[in-house]
Homo-oligomer: A and B are copies of this chain.
Amino acid sequence: MNRLKVGIVGATGYGGVELIRLLSNHPHFHIYSVYSSSQQHVQMVDVYPHLANVPYTLEQIDPVKMAKDVDLVFTATPSGISSKLVPQLINEGLKVIDLSGDFRLKSEELYEKWYKKPPAPNQYTKQSVYGLTEWFGEEIHSSSFIANPGCYPTATLLGLAPIVKKKLIKEDSIIIDAKSGLSGAGRSLSNVSHYAEINENMKIYKVNQHQHIPEIEQVLHRWNEQIKPITFSTHLVPMTRGIMTTIYVTLKESIGIESLYKLYEESYLDAPFVRVRKQGTFPSTKEVSGSNYCDIGLTIDERTNRMTIVSVIDNLVKGAAGQAIQNANLMMGFEQQTGLHVLPVYP
C-alpha cells in the first residue's frame, strides 16, 4: 500500500518533533514535509540535533502548495495561530488534525474569556470534532477536521468519563489536582522553565484559571448536563514528561469498589490505550512515558464516601502527538493503534 503523505506545521515545537518521532515508524503515513512560520529553509537537524540522520528541511506555510503535496496536515501551532491557518487549509480541501486549543471550545464567548484572544471563525469551529478518541471514535471516523484535546483534559476526561456518564457522583463535587512535567510548557524560554529555577522545585500555577477548564466542562456537560463548575489546579513538577491528575469526587450513594472497577474495565474494554490498573495499585507517570497509554487507578474512602481517581499520560504522546495520530488513524480508516505500538520507556 502506498503511504499517505502528511505534513506537519509547527515542527519545531515539542508537539511537532514528537509527531516526527512517532510517524517515522508509521506503516501508512509518510511525512512528506514539515513547516514552520518562523524558521524556513532551515534543516530540522540544526534545530534538533537528535534528528541527525533525518533529512527534513523546514518549509514555508503555503496552503495552496500544501494541498498539492499532502493529504493530511497536523497543525502543532500555538493557539492564536491555528485559528487563522486552519481555515485556509480546510478551504484547500486538506484534512486537518489541529493540536492547538483554537477549535476545541464551541462557544466563542468562552474562548475569548479563557484564551484572551479572538476566536476562530465559528463556521470552522462548528465543523471540528473533539478528538478524545476513546469516546468520540465514530464522529472522528467520519470527520476530516479534528480538534485534538489538550493534555490535561485528556487525562482528566478519561478518568472521569465512566462515573460522570453513569451519574454516580455529586455534580458539584469535582476537584482535579493536576501535575505536569515541564515539556508541557513548551519550548519557548521563560523564567519558570529555566533549569535552575524549576529543578528541585514544585510550583502551582493558573489556579482555577487554566484555559483547559472550559474544555473539560464542555465535554462533561455532553455526558451529564447537571455537572457544575469544577475546581482545577495545575502544578509543575521537576520532570520533562508526564501528567498525573488526581481527581476527587463525592459519590451520590455508596458503591462497592468492585462494581466501580467493573464499570471502568467495561468502559475501556475496547480501548487499547487505556489500562485500568489492578485494584489496590495506582499508576505513576513514568509507567506510560514515551507511549500512548493512559493508565487509571481508583479507590473509595469509606470514611468520606469520596472516590479518588488517578490517571496518568505522557503529555506529548496521549496528551498531544500520539492521540493526534490515533485520531488520524481512525479518520483514514486504519486501526487506531497503527504506528503506536510502542511500550513505555522504562526506566
A window 1-55: CB within 8 A of B? 14, 17, 20-21, 24-25, 45, 48-54
Copies of this chain, how many?
4
Of the residues B48, B205, B231, B246, contact of A204 by C-beta under 8 Å: B246
CB distance from A43 to the nearest CB of B (A): 10
Least CB separation from A17: chain B residue: B346
Q: Is the CB of A289 within 8 A of B204?
A: no
* Residues of B close to A52: CB separation below 8 A: 275, 277, 287, 293, 295
Known: A24-B343, A197-B347, A275-B52. A202 touches B239 (CB 8 A): yes
Choose among B25, B49, B200 the residue that contacts A200 (Cβ–Cβ < 8 A): B200
CA of A345 to CA of B281, assembled, Å: 27
**A286 CA to B196 CA, complexed, in Å:** 10
Expressed in whole angstroms, the minimum distance between the Cβ of A247 and any Cβ of chain B is 10
> What B residues does A45 contact at CB under 8 A?
278
Residue A107 at the B interface, CB < 8 A?
no
Q: Is the CB of A248 within 8 A of B284?
A: no
The answer, yes or no, to whether A308 is at the interface (CB within 8 Å) is yes
Q: How far is the CA of A344 from the CA of B25 in the complex (A)?
A: 12
Q: Decide if B49 touches A287 in the complex (CB within 8 Å).
A: yes
Cα separation A181 to B285 with both chains bound (whole Å): 15
- A205 CB contacts on chain B under 8 angstroms: 282
Interface flag for A110 (CB, 8 Å): no
| A 266-291 binary contact with B (CB < 8 Å = 1; else 0) | 00000010010110011111111110
A237 contacts B by Cβ under 8 Å: yes
Highest count of chain B CB atoms <10 Å: which of A51, A230, A272, A345: A345
Which 9 pairs across A and B sit closest by C-beta, in order of nearness? Answer: A201-B286, A50-B287, A177-B177, A229-B303, A196-B347, A203-B284, A189-B189, A208-B301, A182-B195
